[in-house]
Amino acid sequence: MTSGFPVVRARRLRATPALRRQVAETRLHPADLVLPLFVREGDEPRPLSSMPGVVQHTLDSVRGVVAEAAAAGIGGVMLFGVPEHRDATGTGATDPDGILNQATRVIASEVGDQLVVQTDLCLDEFTDHGHCGVLDADGRVDNDATLLRYRDMALAQADAGSALLGLSGMMDGQVAAVRDALDGAGRSDVAVLAYSAKYASAYYGPFREAVESTLTGNRRSYQLDPANRREGLREAQLDVEEGADIVMVKPASSYLDVLADVAAWSPVPVWAYQVSGEYAMIEAAAANGWIDRDRAILESVLSIKRAGADTVLTYWATELATTLRQGV
């Protein structure tokens, strides 16, 4: 061998598309993706200015969207309701005729055999103060009173046809409370997804438009401090002990270290939510010609999968699944 030449030539395995595909360490499949959907009361879909391409759907318009998602082969849809009327305890969340429960019945009847129909179990979309729970006399979120509302929500969503309840409120003991309510009602078939490591993030901004949030104040007393890494793993461990079937880290891209920690430990599937701000930043940069949109979407979701997520919630789920099926 000529002196000075590299002994190891790692570039050999990057030389052609076929070689790169063969040795890829991380792979995406359409079934690894879940599409978040917003369903509002009213007769017309409403585009979201902060999330180009995302809309608040009606009960009619959402039918075509979930049919397209099923045809693309994604794993499921996560539903969020946008009601016209809200009150202090979020009574619309447990009303069988509330928008989220109506939407669940519609979508379960349309694609329940093809997709996992999932529902957001939280009060923030239904309360007039915008918090994820009920408030006490001093205006603080009352953890244990909120758990009673979550129990009722769980039963209402299960009755509407939800196969997987996404507990996103970050109340202490929420998994145990919901699991007990479901099992006590003979609904042990309904799975629980715990938003275990949900951080008090700035990346939720566009979501607030999507659900027409009425939040006053902030959620830092119950969502995790972005400075804390170990706490994310601890929350996941607590949720598994309480009976969570799946645990999740949210947001995704800024918390890949937490995601990797949880994935390395977890005995149950680990999911991650690529949130509205992550979506909006890529769309905005691409619209200005600063990045290659399609490559940035794929790279962003691959990074979440590479860090350990078994499934990724992303607003690009159907689009990305279609691309993957085309072998692009």
Could you give the residue numbers annotated as active site?
Answer: 198, 250
Asked whether the beta carbons of 239 and 280 are under 8 A apart, the reply is no
CA 204 to chain centre: 12
Query: Sign of dihedral through CA atoms 139, 148, 76, 235?
Result: positive
275 CB-near residues (< 8 Å, 6+ apart): 201, 203, 204, 207, 250, 251, 252
Residue 204 phi, psi dihedral angles, 5° rounding: -90, 0
DSSP-derived secondary structure letter, 172? T
Q: Which helix (H) or strand (E) holds 247?
A: strand 246-250
* Rounded Cα distance, 236 and 245, in Å: 11
Q: Are 100 and 154 in contact (CB under 8 A)?
A: no
Distance (Å, whole) CA 312 – CA 203: 16
Question: What are the φ and ψ backbone dihedral angles of 129, each rounded to 5 degrees?
Answer: -100, -10
Strand partners, 193: 166, 246
DSSP line for 114-139: TSEEEEEE-STTTBTT--SS-B-TTS
b (16+ CB within 10 A) / e for 299-309 = ebbebbbebbb
Q: Pick from 91, 123, 315: which is nearest to 215 by CA?
A: 123
Angstrom distance (rounded) from CA 191 to CA 76? 13
Find tokens 């991650």 and name the residue.
272
